[in-house]
Structure 1
Amino acid sequence: FRKLNPGIFYQHNSRPVIIADNLRTPENMGSVLRLAANIGASKTLFISEVAHQFKSYKIKKTASGAIEKTIWKIITYEELENELPDEYRLIALETTTGAQNIYSFEFPDKVALCIGNEKSGIRRDLLKHAKQHIYIPLPGPVTSLNTTHALSIALFEWYRQMTVKIS
């Protein structure tokens, strides 16, 4: 296996921003933070009115040490505009009419990847602001993924595409 060198990778690429809209469980919040640390995200934004009520030990347990190794904050929907860097493209990971297959989508270097609530998805107003909607094709009889599983697929597809560009 070729040794990965994140220092070199991020000399040529921007770090992604992760946006999680209204997650319902502290375990999923912890999983998102672990993924953020895995990929080297510049920051993770949790849009939520209730996440501050989650038991921190549940978040920490699922994050598995990543909580201190990544920048994250809980914000309101109204605060998102000020938190999202202007040059980043907001991409919604959501199965919507007109959504593009993730494997035919060309990710931008400066990506803000948004996932939604485990039950209701990404709120309508946020979907309207996204530059693109992408979906993950599922060939089996179950046609949904856990939101954090979907995020991991999308983040590492972004990483794969960026790696190909610099090789």
Structure 2
Amino acid sequence: MAGLTALAVAGVGFLAYQASANVPDQLSAPKKPGSSASASPAPEKTKDAHAVPVKSGSGLRVVYALDAKRVWLAGKAGQKPRTFVVMPSTVSPPPGTYKVTSRSEKVTGSDGVDIEHVVRFTSVDQVAIGFSSAVDGSMASPDPTLRTGGVRMRTADGDAMWTFTTVGSKIVVVP
């Protein structure tokens, strides 16, 4: 008997969910006093997914958004910031402000991949963290068993990063 009751309650719950999911918008929300059915709703403000994060500061800087896996080269007067996706490595820096500490034109990455335009800005537990592009243009996911800090980007984006930064350039890492 308890099983039949539980089954009946579940069935009623499912039907109630389906009914609520199919209610027309004008019937689903209570009307505010003084509003009419013909009034059009205020347009939603859409956030530009490619806009430089607000809490990244100002001025000439590289912004690296960890969660978005995206970088912006921002702050050149009169120019729209360049933005692109990146492939993070297994070790990431904590959010904060850093300065470029060194650059290398071509080296072999700690994962054995030949890389170019390496821009280093910090280290975490003795793992160097920096931006680079693979010479072969790949952006493969890193081997999760290796502790590496290379944030990989496409070749054209690596070229732009190399041109944009020098030792001492500001890097802002945001969540």
Q: TM-score range by the shorter chain?
A: under 0.3
Kindly indicate which of the two structures has a greater share of residues assigned to strand.
Answer: 2
* Structure number with bigger Rg: 2
Q: Which has the higher helix share?
A: 1
Structure with more contact order per residue of length (Cα contacts < 8 Å, sep ≥ 6): 1
- Give me the TM-score of the superposition, normalised by structure 2: 0.24
